[in-house]
Structure formats: C-alpha cells, structure tokens
Amino acid sequence: MTELPFTYEEFSEWFDTYAKKYLEVAKNSASRALGEHLDAELPEIERVRVKVSPGRVKGKERTWKKLELRRYRERLTSLSEIPAVVDDLVGLRVTCNNKSDVQRVVDIVRSLRVFQTGQEPVLEQQESSFRDYLEEPKPSGYRAIHINLCTSVPAGLRWKVITCELQIRTLLQDGWGELTHEDTYKPGSTPPVLVGTLSRRMADLLATVDDIAQDLRQELDRLSTKDVETFSVNLPAVSISAAGTVGEAPFQPAIRDAASEYLRNRVAQLKRPMDLASLAWELRTKFGQEVSQGWFGLGNFKSFMKEAIPNVRVTDEPPSYVLPGDYQGGAVAKASTPPGVPAAAMNLRDLDRSFPLLDSARLNAAYRQLAEASQTINWDDETTNDIGRLNEMTRKARQLNSEDLAISRTHFDYIAKSLLFSGSLGHPLTEVEVKSIYSTWTLKRLRSVSNLSNRQVAAVKKWLS
C-alpha cells in the first residue's frame, strides 16, 4: 500500500497556512465575481430565483481523508501538489428555484472564457470540468451540475490561480443534501443500507416534485406571456369612463400616469434589450398587482407600453423584447459563436440569452423527437390545456434522447414554445412541421433585431434545417 509522502502533522501545518492565505481569499473573490456576473446577465425577474451561497473551504479533516483514498494518494509526491490533485478545496454553490433556472445559470457559466495556463483570471471555467449529475445522478441520489471555475488571488508580487468547484442545483436538490447530510458519508465511506435506500427514495421523490415545479413554472410563464403580449389575448372590448374605470375594476388616473412615467424613464435607461415580461413584473412590483387587471383598459402590457412610449422599439414575435433606442444587433463577437452555429444567430442570443445554440444535428434530433412525442398524445382530451400538452410532449421527447445527441428539457421547451405561439398544439405534428414552425419563428425574431444579408439568411436557414 502506497503511503502519503508526508505526515498528518506536516499536512496540518501546510493546510492551515494555505487555507488562510489563498483558499479563503479565493472563496470570497470567486463568490463575489460570480454574483456580479449573474447580476449582469440575468433580468431581475430571473435573478430573484437564483441564490449564490457565500461558499466554503473544505475542512482539514475531510481533505486529509480524501487524500488517503488511493486515487489521490498515488498521484501525490509533495504537499504543494495537493491543490492540483483535489479540485474542490474551495466550493461554491448556486441554488435555483427550478430546472429552467438551473439551465440558464449553466448556460451563463459555460459562456465564460476557458482558462488557459498563464492567464490571471477573475473568473473563468476550467476546460472539460463539466459534470452533469442531473441526467446521471450519483448512486446516493445526489443531483446537481458541477463546473470548476478558476480565479486569481495575490501571491506576493504575482498571482496564484485557485480552482473552485461550483455546484448548481434546485432548491429541492439542495434541501435533499441538507436533509440527508450526504456529505457526512464521503469521501471513502458508505452509509448504512437503510440510510442509503431512504436517501435514494427521497431523492427520486424530490426529482418528481422538481418536474412538477418546472411544469408550474411553464404555466406561470405562459400566463405571464399571455398577459404581456397582444397575440394571444382575447379580451372583450373595454372602455374607460371619465371616472377612470375599466369594466368593474376602478383605477386611479394618477397611477396610470405614474406607471407611464416609470416606463418612459426605465426604457430610456436601458443599455441592452429587455423582455416585456420583466418590465411588466417590475410595474406590478412597484405599483401593485392591480395594474395588470386589464392594463388600464388596453388589455395587455404591450399595448400599454406602446401608448406610454409611442416611439418605443419592440420586437414583434413573442416573447417580445424592448430595444434601447440606439440598439444595433450583431454586437456579440464572432469568436464566441459555438461550432456549427452561424455567426448571425448570435444576434438573437444577444437579445435572448436562453436561445439554444444547438448544432444542426441536435436541432434535427429535437425536431424528430418532438414530432414522435406528439404522435403519442391524446389530442382529444379536453381536460388538458396547451401547456399540459407541451409539458407532456417535451417529457416524452426527452425519453427518446440518445447518448450522443442528448437534448436538455429547457432546449426542448424552448423549441416547443414556437409550437405554442403558432397555435399548433392541437394535433399530431410531423418532423417537417416542427422544423418549419421553429425555423420560421426563429428567423422572424432574428430579423426583428438585425438587418440580415441574403447570405446570412441562407446560413441561418441551412442551420435551422
């Protein structure tokens, strides 16, 4: 049996110094940088559903136990090699309300620059460090996404790069960890059989609840879009009386004026596009939920905003975005374009950060799987609404995933939105229909934010088909 090349006493002295000098500093700076990055990337309506923990430095005893495991022990020849062998000495955690928020955070983190030796990063991702324990949970039932991040801390006149393990998981997955104390039994130890069995059962039950929570999120998003957009609102004609009433719901003209002024100031200050749902949420938060009861007689938020700001720039295809007055599409650097995705598509990604940048092979797999899933749905069931059909379709589509072309639920959901917005969720669909609807919807949205040349249009069409 190979022994560690140092004693516990030597390790203890080294760890106390290293943790205080580097690990604690890295934990604080990385946590702060991550929070600031999410602040910049997520609209407030989404940011409130994402929590960044203060982080933790791995305990000395737990680190020692980990080093005693064969896979670590055999790679060490000195104390100075420990940080390169153990990548979770610093741990960060992001907790999200639901799975779609997890995917949004994952997409944002994975868009960070990849760390290269010689750099002095504020916050960069470590290459090939992505681990998906959502699709493939650990035997214990543990579910989360892991990505290693690199940050720099001062080391005399130079900088030292420290690796931090980031865990991204839902509230329920985080609650499972607290309830089961999963960390208690690792590394190298096995929980009692009954504890393991009950922990896995709890994890599976909470995973089911997570799916229900995601369905709820989808329905709330649908209702929010319906309240905001003109395309799906089917309200009776209303008139505003001199007393300031809409139907039976009275409102104060002063509130309408104040809400209009707030919108004008807010839009004038925009530096980048903002979705209408977030703006509507801000107005409800500031002036109360009652402002959305008919939106002052105009039926929806989009109409109210256009009345308040007649020259406002708004994209037509839902979900709509308001554009700053000087906004020009195409600001995203081509260097950030993923392989297999045309550079012009990045104009829409700059607008809508959840827009999936899948290569053509995965897009076509998604079309095929959604179409196959639609063939199995009971379209005559009048008790199921559109969002229920959409959720059933995306769930069944995921069951058709292959290992080499796996597509996430959030990407299926995004593509299925086009079917919802087109009013096509009423009958079984062919792969050609799914492809045509999504391609048409995406191209219209892209044209609403940038002027595309014929060559760019051809490249986008080729990619989408």
Mind listing the pLDDT tens digit for each residue in 36-79? 999 988 888 889 999 999 999 999 999 999 999 999 999 999 99
> Tokens for 276?
């209408």
Which pLDDT does position 233 carry in this prediction?
A: 34
End-to-end CA distance of the chain: 58
Report d(CA 17, CA 199) in Å as an integer: 37
Mean residue pLDDT across the chain:
86
Considering only the C-alpha atoms of the chain, give the largest distance between any 2 of them, rounded to a whole number of Å.
Answer: 89
> Tokens for 365?
């797999």
User: Across-strand partners of 56?
Assistant: 91
Report d(CA 344, CA 446) in Å as an integer: 8
- Which is the CATH superfamily of the domain at 8-212? Beta Polymerase, domain 2 (3.30.460.10)
Q: Which 8-state DSSP code applies to residue 320?
A: P
What share of the chain in percent tops pLDDT 90? 49
Which pLDDT does position 421 carry in this prediction?
A: 84
Query: Angle 89-100-396 (CA atoms, 0-180°, nearest 5)?
Result: 120
User: Across-strand partners of 314?
Assistant: 322
Report d(CA 251, CA 257) in Å as an integer: 11
pLDDT exceeds cutoff 60 at 418: yes
Q: Tell me the whole-structure pTM to 2 decimals.
A: 0.73
User: Across-strand partners of 249?
Assistant: 246
Positive or negative, the Cα torsion across 404, 408, 411, 416? positive
Report d(CA 313, CA 333) in Å as an integer: 23
pLDDT exceeds cutoff 60 at 155: yes
pLDDT exceeds cutoff 50 at 346: yes
Are 150 and 115 contacting, i.e. CB atoms less than 8 angstroms apart?
yes
The mean-pLDDT minimum among 60-74, 245-259, 363-377, 412-426 falls in 245-259
Bond prior to 187 in cis (omega within 30° of 0) = yes
Angle between helices 193-228 and 276-287 (to 10 degrees): 90
The distance of Cα 216 from the centroid of its chain, to the nearest Å, equals: 16
The mean-pLDDT minimum among 9-23, 226-240, 271-285, 422-436 falls in 226-240
User: Across-strand partners of 153?
Assistant: 160
- The three-class DSSP label of residue 314 is strand
Q: Which amino acid is at 435?
A: K
What average pLDDT does the segment 279-284 reach? 90
Closest alpha carbon to 60 in 6, 25, 13, 108: 13
pLDDT band at 185 (very low <50, low <70, confident <90, very high): low
Structure-token match 């907790």, residue found: 95
What average pLDDT does the segment 263-271 reach? 91
> Tokens for 318?
């839902």
Closest alpha carbon to 105 in 144, 150, 153, 163: 144
Which pLDDT does position 338 carry in this prediction?
A: 83
- The three-class DSSP label of residue 116 is coil
The distance of Cα 20 from the centroid of its chain, to the nearest Å, equals: 33
Report d(CA 149, CA 37) in Å as an integer: 13
Are 283 and 291 contacting, i.e. CB atoms less than 8 angstroms apart?
yes
The distance of Cα 25 from the centroid of its chain, to the nearest Å, equals: 27
φ, ψ (nearest 5 deg) of residue 65: -60, -35
Instruction: List, in order, residues 6 or more apart from 423 with CB less than 8 Å away.
Output: none
Count other C-beta atoms under 10 Å from residue 85's C-beta: 15
Which pLDDT does position 267 carry in this prediction?
A: 92
Which pLDDT does position 329 carry in this prediction?
A: 65
Which pLDDT does position 147 carry in this prediction?
A: 97
Q: Residue 287: which H helix or E strand, with range?
A: helix 276-287
C-alpha torsion 453→458→463→465, nearest 10: 140
Are 170 and 210 contacting, i.e. CB atoms less than 8 angstroms apart?
yes
> Is the pLDDT higher at 10 or at 135?
10
